[in-house]
Every structure is written in C-alpha cells, then in structure tokens.
C-alpha cells in the first residue's frame, strides 16, 4: 500500500470526525468549522502530494485558459440540475422539503456575504484539492481512473450521511460524481475548483432554491 493511500485513509477518518463535529455535535460555528476543516485537509493533502513527488502537484495544478470556461459552464449546468432536481424531489419524497430547508438553515449562522467569501475562496477550492486532488487521484493511481472516480465520489457522498439527511447525502454524491468526472476528464483541479466555487456561491447565496 503506497503512502498516499495510507495517508488518505488517515485523513478520511479525520474528515469523518470533522463532519461529525460540524453536523452532529455542533459545538462551534458551522462555517468557521467548515473553513478550518476543509482548509486543513487541503493543506495537509497538498503537502503529502509534494512529499510523494513534486510532479504530482505540477500535474494537478496545470492551468489552461479554457479551464475557466469549463468551470463556469459546468457550474451553470450543475445548478440547473439541482434546480430541477429540487422540484422533482419534493414531488417524490415527502421529507425532501424539510431536509433541504434544514440544509439552508445554516445560512442564518453567519452574514451571507462572509459565507459567500468563505465558500468561494476557501471551502469550495479546498474540497476539490482534498477530495479530487488527493483522495480520488490516489485511488485512481492505485485502482484505475474509473474506480478512483466512483469510489472517491461514494466516499465523498457517504461522509455527508453523518448529518442523517438523505437530501444532503444525495446532493454530495451527485456533486462528487460530477466534479470527479471533470477531474477524471481534464486531469487538472482548476476546472473543478472554479466550478465548485461558483456553484457553492450560487446555490447558497445568489440563487438559492429555498
């Protein structure tokens, strides 16, 4: 078992602990905890990548101007998927409306403009760096691209299930598959980082579905 897989298991266990604190125990401010947790996981995983080979981070952060357009377009597509999915889910599941509203309840815990800045500059990019640039990439190197994509997305979705919210789990799983595919397709984190950051701010702050 290579170093990235070993450290990946440790960091995923730590991520579970972070998520339990944020979604279950709730001892501190949700958005501050999320910022610290996501940022810490991103920084540690990027450092481990560097230790395992500087070429890893060079590959992960390779940038082309077209990635900007891919990120913007994909964020818009994902927003439309969720906008439509929200309408359909409330017709299928009698618990959907309550659970989605519960997710948006976190918006009241901090000034919306501050939440938007944290989502755009820290939380969204950090989640891509850790979940796609470390977890998925390490799994892909060990098990193959498709297995890394699917298993990485499943882990990303399942970790959100600690909130005991089926809609949050479903949303995370869809996002994991979506951004995971983008990473698998372009091999760079930039399209996903741009997409994730823009989608977060749009779905939570600018054009929320609730």
CA distance 65 to 207: 26
The pLDDT of residue 54: 85
Considering the chain, what percentage of its residues have pLDDT values greater than 70?
100
Q: What pLDDT band is residue 44 in, cutting at 50, 70 and 90?
A: very high
The pLDDT of residue 53: 87
pLDDT tens digits for range 160-177: 999 999 999 999 999 999
The pLDDT of residue 1: 60
- CA-closest candidate to residue 63, choices 209, 187, 206, 199: 187
CA distance 210 to 13: 32
CA dihedral 123, 127, 129, 134 (to 10 degrees): 150
pLDDT tens digits for range 96-128: 999 999 999 988 889 999 999 999 999 999 999
Average pLDDT, the chain: 96
- CA-closest candidate to residue 35, choices 107, 139, 126, 136: 126
The pLDDT of residue 38: 98
């Amino acid at each position: 078992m290579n170093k990235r897989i070993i450290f990946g298991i440790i960091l995923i266990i730590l991520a579970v602990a972070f998520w339990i604190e944020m979604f279950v125990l709730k001892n501190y401010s949700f958005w501050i905890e999320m910022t610290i947790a996501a940022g810490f996981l991103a920084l540690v995983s990027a450092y481990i990548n560097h230790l395992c080979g500087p070429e890893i981070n060079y590959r992960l952060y390779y940038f082309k101007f077209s990635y900007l357009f891919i990120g913007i377009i994909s964020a818009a597509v994902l927003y439309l998927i969720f906008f439509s999915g929200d309408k359909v889910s409330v017709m299928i599941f009698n618990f959907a409306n309550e659970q989605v509203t519960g997710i948006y309840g976190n918006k009241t815990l901090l000034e919306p403009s501050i939440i938007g800045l944290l989502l755009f500059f820290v939380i969204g990019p950090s989640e891509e760096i850790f979940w796609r640039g470390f977890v998925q990439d390490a799994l892909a190197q060990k098990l193959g691209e498709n297995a890394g994509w699917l298993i990485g997305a499943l882990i990303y979705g399942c970790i959100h299930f600690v909130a005991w919210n089926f809609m949050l789990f479903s949303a995370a799983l869809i996002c994991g598959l979506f951004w995971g595919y983008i990473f698998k397709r372009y091999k760079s984190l930039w399209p996903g980082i741009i997409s994730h950051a823009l989608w977060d701010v749009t779905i939570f702050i600018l054009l929320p579905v609730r």
